[in-house]
Amino acid sequence: MSSISLDAPSRLDNTSDDPVARQPLILGEPDLASITNAVCGVVERPRPPRAWYVAFAASLSLTGVLGLAVGYLILTGVGVWGLQVPVAWGWAIVNFVFWVGIGHAGTLISAILFLLRQRWRTSINRFAEAMTIFAVVCAGLFPGIHVGRVWVAYWLAPIPNQMAMWPNFRSPLLWDVFAVSTYATVSLLFWYMGMVPDLATLRDRASGKIRQIAYGLLALGWRGSNRHWHRYETAYLLLAALATPLVLSVHSVVSFDFAVSVLPGWHTTIFPPYFVAGAIFSGFAMVVTLVIPTRRLLGLEHIITRRHLESMAKVMLATSMMVGLAYSTELFMAWYSGNSYEGFTFLNRAFGPYAWAYWTMVTCNVVVPQLFWIKRLRTSTLVLWIASVLINVGMWFERFVIVVSSLSRDYLPSSWGYYQPSIIDILTFVGSFGLFFTLFLLFLRFGPMIAMAEVKAILPQARPSHGSHGGYEGAGGRAGRDGSGAAQTAVGEAAP
């Protein structure tokens, strides 16, 4: 078994652009068993790092705050929020759109980049898929509680009832139900399907009876036979093909909540692609925000390398420019249309009472990502982490600006108002982060956070030609699920 020798963080830089020899994706020339030991070791160690306990205690406390805020809301009513006339949609819808956007990166990394055979996705796809599921859970919370009388929410379901009530299928709010629920279902299947081989590895390595039973049930009797791998690869490919259009459709449908209205600032055809680009932008930013500290604390810097971070920085730079183009297109069309109401809306956003939110949005989403043009900055973990946090802040403010600034000043000056969130709004939003991080930390502790089978498939040991041509190239060979059998070889040789 070869060992991984990485003496200092400076040795972990594999971002050079040498055209002669491509830098490896996985550092330290690991063998198949060392990948298994590195990933499974996170789950199998008797106690996680102290930082995990601190983070889990903080996130669990915030989850408790969420439960208290939602309980108080249900007992008292939505009047405890800062909603008013004319701002009848407040932080609940802002948070819903924000969390749905966060959940987009997982499917993009897992499905679209898989179909495009991008090998750098293998170290981060499981991470992003889990984040997708947990973000959708947080997003689904807000539509459920903003309806007011939560105990009669079943009236919204299209089922026969004694009151002859039926949902309005022409409402984009109902379209959201179908779009988000479909997205959540496919993303969950996609995430679980990818984990089956790795859950079987954990089952075979488990020392306790409870772990053996739990991982054994989740592994569904996986043995790693050729028949299992053939059916697995076929199902994974079909799910990837099914999930790809969902990446584009889900946030497009969410944007219809605004685009099909006649309110200035909302009634625009640019919203679907604008929302999709923003969702991918914010999703990648959240992945980077979580990956950088996790790889350091769990000792996985040789698997999730700076080259992976640089690739994600490039995606964020590209989507930032798309979002910036959407901002400028909105301003141009407001002027070019000659519609005085539309023109006033965007002037009000930039120079009105919510100008502070607008310029925060522009700074974080358009200006900050321009740092990624400089290679030294986009490969610096500190700069990248700070920038990703600011991007998440900016994307939340983007949803806030769209929702609140358009509603607060509409056609009639006599109905204008200034929206301010209540303490329950703030606690509910902060508590949703607690729920997200609690689920995420539990996954890190008990689940395979890195797709071992896929990472092994990009190692030279997984190639039939290994040993005859020499040279280590982490990006060499074919991806494990393209029918080459690389993943089968990788998992078959990985068991200790």
Residue 3 CB partners (closer than 8 Å, separation 6+): 28, 34
DSSP classification of residue 364: I
Residue 167 CB partners (closer than 8 Å, separation 6+): 156, 157, 158, 174
115 C-beta neighbours (distance < 10 Å), count: 13
Distance, C-alpha 259 to centroid of its chain: 24
The pLDDT value given to residue 488: 44
Task: Output phi, psi for 148, to 5 deg.
Answer: 100, -90
User: What is the rounded distance in angstroms from the CA atom of residue 234 to the CA atom of residue 482?
Assistant: 9
The pLDDT value given to residue 479: 37
How do the residues of the chain divide into helix, strand and coil, expressed in percent and rounded to 5? 70, 0, 30
- Residues of the chain below pLDDT 70: 1-22, 161, 462-496
User: What is the rounded distance in angstroms from the CA atom of residue 471 to the CA atom of residue 459?
Assistant: 11
Identify whether 86 is preceded by a cis peptide bond (ω within 30 of 0): yes
The pLDDT value given to residue 145: 83
Over 81-148, what HEC string results? CCCCCCCCCCHHHHHHHHHHHHCHHHHHHHHHHHHCCCHHHHHCHHHHHHHHHHHHHHHHHHHHHCCC
All structural domains of the chain with their residue ranges:
18-158+181-489
Q: Please identify which residue in the block is written with the tokens 């939505």.
A: 78
The pLDDT value given to residue 14: 64
Residues 348, 404 contacting (CB under 8 angstroms): no
The pLDDT value given to residue 465: 62
User: What is the rounded distance in angstroms from the CA atom of residue 215 to the CA atom of residue 221?
Assistant: 10
- DSSP readout, 309-323? HHHHHHHHHHHHHHH
Residues 27, 6 contacting (CB under 8 angstroms): yes
Residue 317 CB partners (closer than 8 Å, separation 6+): 369, 370, 372, 373, 378
The pLDDT value given to residue 458: 80
User: What is the rounded distance in angstroms from the CA atom of residue 321 to the CA atom of residue 170?
Assistant: 34
The pLDDT value given to residue 275: 87
Task: Output phi, psi for 49, to 5 deg.
Answer: -60, 155
Query: How do residues 226-272 score in pLDDT, each as one tens digit?
Result: 899 899 889 989 988 888 888 888 888 888 888 888 888 888 888 88
The pLDDT value given to residue 20: 66
Where are the strands (E) in 269-394, listed by range? Answer: none
